[in-house]
A and B are shown apart, each in its own frame.
Chain A
Amino acid sequence: MKLYEALGLEPALALHMEEVKKHFYERSRQWHPDKFSRASAAEQDLALEMTAVLNDAYRTLRDPVSRAEYFLKERGIELSKDAPAELLEEVFELNMALEELRDGDASVRAQLEQSAAKFRSMQMVSDTELASLFIHHDAAPGPAKLDQIRAALNRRRYVSNLVRDVEKELHVHSAN
């Protein structure tokens, strides 16, 4: 996996932020384009390219969600195309309330703030769930575990989109 290799890390799902950061700093120093100011054009190009890859690797691997998405993609696993069925009823109600808010009914605010809080806590539960799935996977990798991770990621993504949308609407329609 290219991004892990760039940072000199073994491909794993459970990574410590500090570890990723340490590797990133070390390698970035090593490949810093300033160090290559007197090198050949080819070496200068390589230094630039490596720096770009390192930045990309750091951005992708420091965040657990983007790291897992990258990991699954590299393993040839597409993220799920289904919305989590158990959430649909709630999402529908949420959209009804948002529509009322847009139509100027401020009385739904409290309900929306409650839903936002609920989805935010779901997001946190998802994060914890993912963290433990990562550890289990690294200890003994297997397709079944990757599948669980895929489902958890899908749910996490869906819920965080919801949080984002509700917060945005609440913000837009505040103060009037």
Chain B
Amino acid sequence: MAYSEKVLDHYNHPRNVGSLDKADPTVGTGMVGAPECGDVMKLQVKVNPTTGIIEEAKFKTFGCGSAIASSSLATEWLRGKTVDEALAIKNTDIVNELSLPPVKIHCSVLAEDAIKAAIDDYKKKSAHV
């Protein structure tokens, strides 16, 4: 199967690979996985608590090119967005941007789930501060 140029670009030059300090109260961590394969995706956001803006986003994905590209793109989009704007990102936005074929749509779903899980984690943590 041929990957689109954008997928290949993200796959070969993934943006924002790495990790943030999980223990930091301004960092939210989302960990999601696909049941069929052993794909796992970790996505983290660092939020400025006063502005509610995501200042940093990092990811590390073990999976196919589309899964890596979806999460890489997600971190690019997350930077500079508010928490609520981040929650509005839909998997279909990722599908369109990367021209993912139908068999790879689950990769974009995984990325959307990872965003939601990371924001959720951040919200839970900040509620306790």
Contact = CB atoms under 8 A, between A and B. Distances in A.
Interface of A: 79-83, 85, 87-89, 91-92, 95-96, 99, 154, 157-158, 161-162, 165
Nearest first, the 5 closest Cβ-Cβ pairs linking A and B are A83-B33, A95-B62, A83-B35, A88-B31, A92-B40
Contact of B31 (A82, A89, A154): A89
Contact of B38 (A82, A89, A162): A162
Interface size bracket, B side = 10 to 19
A95 B38 contact: yes
Nearest to B34: A83
Contacts of A89: 31
A154 B40 CA distance: 16
A81 B60 CA distance: 22
A91 B37 contact: no
A95 B40 contact: yes
A32 B33 CA distance: 47
B42 interface: yes
Interface in B33-53: 33-35, 37-38, 40, 42
B35 A80 contact: yes
A154 B62 CA distance: 20
25 contacts: A82-B35, A83-B32, A83-B33, A83-B35, A83-B40, A87-B33, A88-B31, A88-B32, A88-B40, A89-B31, A91-B40, A92-B40, A92-B42, A92-B60, A92-B62, A95-B38, A95-B40, A95-B62, A99-B62, A157-B35, A158-B35, A161-B37, A161-B38, A162-B38, A165-B38
Contacts of A91: 33, 38, 40
A81 B109 CA distance: 12
